[in-house]
């Protein structure tokens, strides 16, 4: 059974960095990409970036480029999201999600999600 388990809530001051983990189990870790998505209060979900768990390649959204770093530890089947230079606007619930990939004619989408990690940025 596939599980994505995220680390716990964080409270940070403006200008600090936060690192959230997403530990995968129940499948071959290297076979799937993992995305990070966030939801600020009252806002729609926002895609931040993804990492290929197999080769470590990453792709970031324009909004997160330069502040977001995704890494992986294959020995621990864990993906890490680090967001730097935090502002109040980074307060959100952060989710990791597994990308199921592509079939013959289309995209499967995100088939499993982590439980979410609340990151609060407050002075």
The binding site for other proteins (CB under 8 A) comprises 4, 35, 37, 43-47, 59, 61, 95, 97, 100, 103, 105-111, 113-116
CB atoms within 10 A of CB 13: 9
Widest Cα–Cα separation across the chain: 50
Pick 11 or 45: Cβ nearer other proteins: 45
Pick 16 or 52: Cβ nearer other proteins: 52
| Residue 106 in tokens | 């289309």
The least CB distance from residue 53 to other proteins, in Å, is 18
Count CA atoms closer than 13 A to 24's CA, side-chain side.
27
For tokens 């890490």, the residue is 80
The least CB distance from residue 121 to other proteins, in Å, is 20
**Planar angle of CA 67, 71, 73, nearest 5 degrees:** 160
Nearest one of 49, 51, 47, 93 to 71, comparing CA atoms: 51
Pick 45 or 88: Cβ nearer other proteins: 45
The least CB distance from residue 100 to other proteins, in Å, is 8
The least CB distance from residue 18 to other proteins, in Å, is 19
């Amino acid at each position: 059974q596939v599980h994505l388990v995220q680390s716990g809530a964080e409270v940070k001051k403006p200008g600090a960095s936060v690192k959230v983990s997403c530990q995968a189990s129940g499948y071959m870790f290297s076979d799937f990409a993992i995305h990070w998505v966030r939801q600020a209060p009252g806002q729609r979900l926002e895609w931040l970036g993804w990492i290929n768990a197999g080769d470590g390649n990453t792709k970031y959204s324009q909004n997160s480029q330069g502040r977001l770093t995704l890494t992986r530890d294959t020995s621990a089947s864990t993906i890490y999201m680090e967001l730097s230079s935090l502002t109040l606007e980074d307060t959100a619930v952060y989710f990791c999600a597994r990308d199921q990939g592509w079939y013959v004619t289309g995209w499967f989408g995100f088939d499993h999600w982590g439980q979410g990690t609340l990151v609060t940025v407050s002075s």
